[in-house]
Amino acid sequence: MYQIVRKVSLNPTVTKMDIYAPFVAKKAKPGQFIILRVDEDGERIPLTVADYDREAGTVSIIFQIVGGGTQRLNAKEEGDYIPDFVGPLGRPTHIEGLKKVCVVGGGVGCAIALPVAKALHEAGCEVCSIIGFRNKDLVILEEEFKACSTTFHMMTDDGSYGRQGNVCVPLNEMLSAGEQFDEVITIGPLIMMKFVCAATKPYGVKTIASMNPIMIDGTGMCGGCRLTVGGEMKFACVDGPEFDGHLIDFDEAMSRSRTYADFEQREREDSCNLLNKGVE
């Protein structure tokens, strides 16, 4: 059993938890993920490692409350336990040798982008961070990004905080002005990553996209996270989750990501009904 040692609400729909899992914390690296189950009969939920403390033996996860499983997870409190917390899984982010990188995060994807930005900063890399949200109320991890970034850009769709516009606005400005990056790393909604990759392609800037958003089972057995990369079939969970963004068929990935929308809606409604009755 794995204890929840800390729980923090980052915004109305996003929660951060620190889980005591010393063996996972010992080996975790940026870009990797874990799989948890909220209870013995629960679904497998893949979540990216948002941070880790090797000395304390804790692993941080940040999740959006969107389905039945994450609703039940969010109902847990500090001191409670979850039965399964497996990892680290997936290939870690490549950090070595990079001197200047632009990290682009969107929404809850910023939780995945932050440990990457931190690791790059700690390795002596110059980090330019761009993070974007729909509005001010949904902003998360701003100070944490500022602490590990040489330059920082905050964007909101409605202009209620930072600059108005999407993450491609400052990215396009920098690229058109001749800014040189060893890599651009983007993590967020599929449509956002698609346009980030489209923005960097004319400049020949290597762009890495994290395909965590389409993972389901986390082992490659369900086939739900298969995608086409450079004309070849890959699995986000076992071959990634990071891939060359210029080779990803984002339209195919977005179409597949909608496959379970109706199922997730039913699970969310069922979970709400159970929680309202006081049953976990």
138 and 44 both lie in a single domain: no
Instruction: List pLDDT tens digits, range 9-61.
Output: 999 889 999 999 999 999 999 888 898 999 888 788 888 898 999 999 999 99
Q: Where does the pLDDT of residue 227 fall: very low under 50, low under 70, confident under 90, or very high at 90 and above?
A: confident
18 and 107 both lie in a single domain: no
Mean pLDDT of 176-192: 94
6 and 69 both lie in a single domain: yes
CA distances from 153 to 191, 216, 244 (A): 19, 31, 24
Instruction: List pLDDT tens digits, range 137-172.
Output: 999 999 999 999 999 999 999 999 999 999 999 999
How many domains is the chain partitioned into structurally? Answer: 2
Compute the distance between CA of residue 211 and CA of residue 19 in angstroms, rounded to an integer: 24
Does residue 251 sit within a domain? yes
Q: Which domain CATH number covers 126?
A: 3.40.50.80
Q: What is the pLDDT of residue 195?
A: 95
Does residue 143 sit within a domain? yes
Hunting for tokens 């200047």 — which residue is that? 100
Q: What is the pLDDT of residue 271?
A: 44
pLDDT at 261 over 50: yes
83 and 139 both lie in a single domain: no
Does residue 218 sit within a domain? yes
pLDDT at 83 over 60: yes
pLDDT at 235 over 80: no
Task: Record the tokens describing residue 73, joined without a space.
Answer: 């997870």
Q: Where does the pLDDT of residue 272 fall: very low under 50, low under 70, confident under 90, or very high at 90 and above?
A: very low
Q: Which domain CATH number covers 68?
A: 2.40.30.10
The DSSP annotation for 260-280 comes to THHHHHHHHHHHHHHHHTT--
Nearest partner of 168 among 181, 186, 182, judged by Cα: 186
Q: What is the pLDDT of residue 279?
A: 47
243 and 168 both lie in a single domain: yes
The DSSP annotation for 214-243 comes to G-SSSSSSS-TTEEEETTEEEEHHHH-SEE
Domain hosting 178: range is 100-257
Stated pTM of the model? 0.83
CA distances from 64 to 71, 93, 149, 239 (A): 9, 22, 24, 24
Residue predicted with more confidence, 28 or 229: 28
Mean pLDDT of the chain: 87
Among 167-176, 182-191, 204-213, the minimum mean pLDDT is found in 204-213
Radius of gyration of the chain (CA): 18
Mean pLDDT of 212-222: 60
pLDDT at 123 over 90: yes
77 and 159 both lie in a single domain: no
Residue 135 per-residue DSSP state: S
Q: What is the pLDDT of residue 205?
A: 96
φ and ψ of 49, to 5 deg: -70, 115
